[in-house]
Amino acid sequence: MPANERHHYVPQFYLNGWCTPGEQAQGERLYRYQWKGGRLLVERAHPRSTGSLDRLYSLDSVPPERQQQIEKDFLAGVIEAPAGLVLNKMRTSGRGHNLTMEERHVWTRFLMAQRIRSPEIVRFLHEQAPPHLREVLAANPEQYQALKEGEGPRDAVGMGGARKAGIDRGLRETAYTVVDPR
């Protein structure tokens, strides 16, 4: 399976802070606790092999080149990359790190994203969002028409320029595909 199809619900940059130095051949590891068969298992794991599931955020109803868009473009690019820089600043600066207002926004966006990234919440949204979206758009056909014609909201993530427009377009296309998957 390609690496970009393994989706972390706990980002690797965050997990790295929980690692302890391992033997030379193993590198940095963290302790992973999980219940299997009624028993608590404790094992050492690399951040890339924990806190993730195959294709958790994949969009199966869109063309293959867009199926990983949530993970690659939104979570990795918009949420995790900037948050990783802020977390690194907090880790290396210690107390009194004096985050700028933008860094505080970035970190808040990361924390809020974490609230909806768990497999349980993603599963719930996958099951409940499409029928709810269809119901809302059926009750408000002007919203459906705006999505269809590309006139959706322009500040959904609070970004500027071409990157924001690309993400807005992707979100609009995804919402349109959920409603009308032709």
Highest mean pLDDT among 102-106, 115-119, 120-124: 102-106
Range of the domain at 129: 118-182
Q: With 50 as the cut, is the pLDDT of residue 154 above it?
A: no
What pLDDT score was predicted for residue 162?
44
Q: With 60 as the cut, is the pLDDT of residue 115 above it?
A: yes
Mean pLDDT value across the chain? 79
Strands 6-8 and 30-36 come out as unpaired
Mean pLDDT of 140-160: 60
Q: How far is CA 80 from CA 68, 86, 87, 138, 151, in A?
A: 15, 10, 10, 35, 27
Q: Within a domain: residue 111?
A: no
What pLDDT score was predicted for residue 134?
81
Q: With 60 as the cut, is the pLDDT of residue 161 above it?
A: no
Q: Within a domain: residue 100?
A: no
Q: Within a domain: residue 79?
A: no
What's the structural domain count of the chain?
1
Mean pLDDT of 16-25: 71
Q: How far is CA 143 from CA 99, 146, 176, 180, in A?
A: 38, 5, 11, 14
Q: With 60 as the cut, is the pLDDT of residue 157 above it?
A: no
Q: Within a domain: residue 124?
A: yes
Q: Within a domain: residue 11?
A: no
What pLDDT score was predicted for residue 131?
86
Q: With 50 as the cut, is the pLDDT of residue 89 above it?
A: yes
Q: Within a domain: residue 52?
A: no
Among 104-108, 134-138, 148-152, 165-169, the least confident range: 165-169
Q: How far is CA 29 from CA 37, 115, 152, in A?
A: 24, 25, 44
Q: Within a domain: residue 153?
A: yes
Q: Within a domain: residue 61?
A: no
Among 68-77, 82-91, 130-139, the least confident range: 130-139
